[in-house]
Every structure is written in structure tokens, then in C-alpha cells.
């Protein structure tokens, strides 16, 4: 039977491990054509064999902005069906990607706040890169939770963005050690949110991460008086 899903081939053109156990991959389409996508969307990544047949597949959020000639992904290596195979992927290898999809998107809302933990920063990097490059006017706040300061992904870029763009505020909080860390500590909660945003109801909110975290953040936002009709959620399982 013919498959209706188009799987486009991409070359792995960049691999780095900025934090132990997390890899950033950049994938460049063999035909040179980056698919249209809206920041926040994800794609199914296919591990393919020599014939182009799928061995395993899983969805991953696009971390790059729409202006790049590659798609970037930030993936936690958990030695699972797909990540176990991605661990072995080398520069020059070929993987397959379906077309970007999903309703977890940033559509140029003026007051936008993002809550994510660990690799949950991935879709927000795409959104922030888009916001920053397009010089969108508004107020943008990222609440980014990591275990320790050594687990911060995209730390330098986030710092540079917030330094150069007064509209972007980055709040990083560490949930474990605090040695040498002068930023926020503990999980994101309603008082932390209120500390940085007076009028939570005037913001659209995006939450990305595991389901329990998404539920906790939804409850925290409700406590702050945020408008849950303006809540966008991506639960990773």
C-alpha cells in the first residue's frame, strides 16, 4: 500500500552535546528546500535504513527559526528506540523528516510568556529567535527551569537576546544545586510568575514539557489570574 506521508531526506550537518546527555542536531534538506513552518511546530523524525524505510520515528520540536537553511533539534538522549539510534548518528548521515505540524505555535502575539524545563526550551528557542529576528514589539518573558546551572541549554544565546532586546526577559531557575548560582531557585510557581509579570491576564502563555509539569504550571497560572483561554500547551508524554 502506498504511504500518504511524505518523508523528506535530510543530511545531518551539525551535532553538538552542549550539556551531558542532550544533543543539538542540525539537519539540512537534501533538496535544499526548508519546509514552511510556524515557530513552535514539531516534526516526526524518522530513523531510516539504506532503502529509506523507517526503522523508528518520534516527534521533535523545531528549535531553529524559520529563516535558517537547516532545521535544528535539541534532544535529550534517553537511550530509547529513537534516541538510542540518534546517539549513533554521525555527520553526513541521512534521516527522514515529515512535514512540520502542530497547533502549538507563536502567531506574533504581543504579550507572550513561555514556561519550559530542560529540552522543553526547544520550541521556545524557535519562537524567541523568530521574535528577535523580526524585532516584534511587545513583552516576552521566558521561565526556564533546569536542574543545575550546568544543565542550561542555549544559555549564552538567551543571555545575549535579553541583553540586546529590552522586550525579552529570561528567567532561569535551578531546581537542584545552588552553588555559584545567583538566579531564581526552585520550580516555577505562582509567586515567581507574579514577581516578573504584573498583569498575567494580558499575556498569552505557552507551556512545554512532561504532562505532570504542564498540569502544575497550568494550576500555577490559574492562581495568578492568567486567562486560561490564552494558554497553549505541548505535553511530551
Ligand X SMILES: Cc1cc2nc3c(=O)[nH]c(=O)nc-3n(C[C@H](O)[C@H](O)[C@H](O)COP(=O)(O)OP(=O)(O)OC[C@H]3O[C@@H](n4cnc5c(N)ncnc54)[C@H](O)[C@@H]3O)c2cc1C
Residues contributing to the site for ligand X (CB under 6 A): 42, 58-61, 73-76, 78, 80-83, 119, 122, 234, 236-237
Question: Which residue, 54 or 165, is less far from ligand X as judged by CB?
Answer: 54
Query: Could you give the C-alpha distances from 179 to 48, 147, 175, in angstroms and in order?
Result: 43, 12, 12
CA 34 to chain centre: 18
Shortest Cβ distance from residue 233 to ligand X (Å)? 11
User: What minimum distance in Å lies between the beta carbon of 228 and ligand X?
Assistant: 21
Q: How far is the CB of 184 from ligand X (least distance, A)?
A: 22
Least distance from ligand X to the Cβ atom of residue 17, Å: 13
Chain centroid to Cα 173, Å, comes to 17
Based on CB atoms, which residue is closest to ligand X, 143 or 236?
236
Q: Which residue is nearest to ligand X (CB)?
A: 80
Contact 45, 62 (CB under 8 A): no
Residue 172 to residues 186, 187, 201: CA-CA distances in angstroms?
A: 10, 10, 22
Nearer to ligand X, 82 or 217 (CB): 82
Smaller CB separation from ligand X, 83 or 165: 83
Query: What are the DSSP E strand ranges found in 90-167?
Result: 94-97, 111-117, 139-146
Amino acid at each position: 500500500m502506498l504511504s500518504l506521508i511524505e518523508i523528506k531526506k535530510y543530511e545531518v550537518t551539525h551535532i553538538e552535546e552542549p550539556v551531558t546527555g542532550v544533543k543539538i542536531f542540525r539537519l539540512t534538506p537534501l533538496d535544499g528546500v526548508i519546509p514552511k513552518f510556524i515557530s513552535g511546530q514539531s516534526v516526526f523524525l524518522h530513523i531510516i535504513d539504506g532503502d529509506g524505510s523507517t526503522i523508528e520515528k518520534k516527534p521533535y520540536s523545531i528549535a531553529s527559526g524559520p529563516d535558517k537553511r537547516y532545521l535544528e533539534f535539541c534532544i535529550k538522549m534517553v537511550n530509547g528506540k529513537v534516541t538510542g539510534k540518534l546517539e549513533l548518528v554521525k555527520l553526513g548521515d541521512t534521516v527522514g523528516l515529515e512535514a512540520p505540524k502542530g497547533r502549538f505555535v507563536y502567531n506574533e502575539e504581543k504579550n507572550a510568556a513561555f514556561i519550559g524545563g530542560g529540552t522543553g526550551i526547544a520550541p521556545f528557542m524557535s519562537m524567541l529567535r523568530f521574535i528577535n529576528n523580526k524585532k516584534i514589539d511587545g513583552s516576552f518573558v521566558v521561565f526556564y527551569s533546569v536542574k543545575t546551572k550546568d544543565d542550561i541549554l542555549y544559555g549564552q544565546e538567551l543571555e545575549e537576546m535579553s541583553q540586546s532586546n529590552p522586550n525579552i526577559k529570561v528567567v532561569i531557575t535551578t531546581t537542584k544545586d545552588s552553588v555559584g548560582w545567583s538566579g531564581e531557585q526552585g520550580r516555577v510557581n505562582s509567586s515567581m510568575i507574579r514577581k516578573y509579570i504584573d498583569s498575567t491576564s494580558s499575556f498569552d502563555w505557552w507551556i512545554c514539557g512532561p504532562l505532570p509539569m504542564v498540569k502544575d504550571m497550568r494550576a500555577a497560572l490559574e492562581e495568578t489570574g492568567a486567562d486560561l483561554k490564552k494558554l497553549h500547551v505541548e505535553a511530551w508524554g
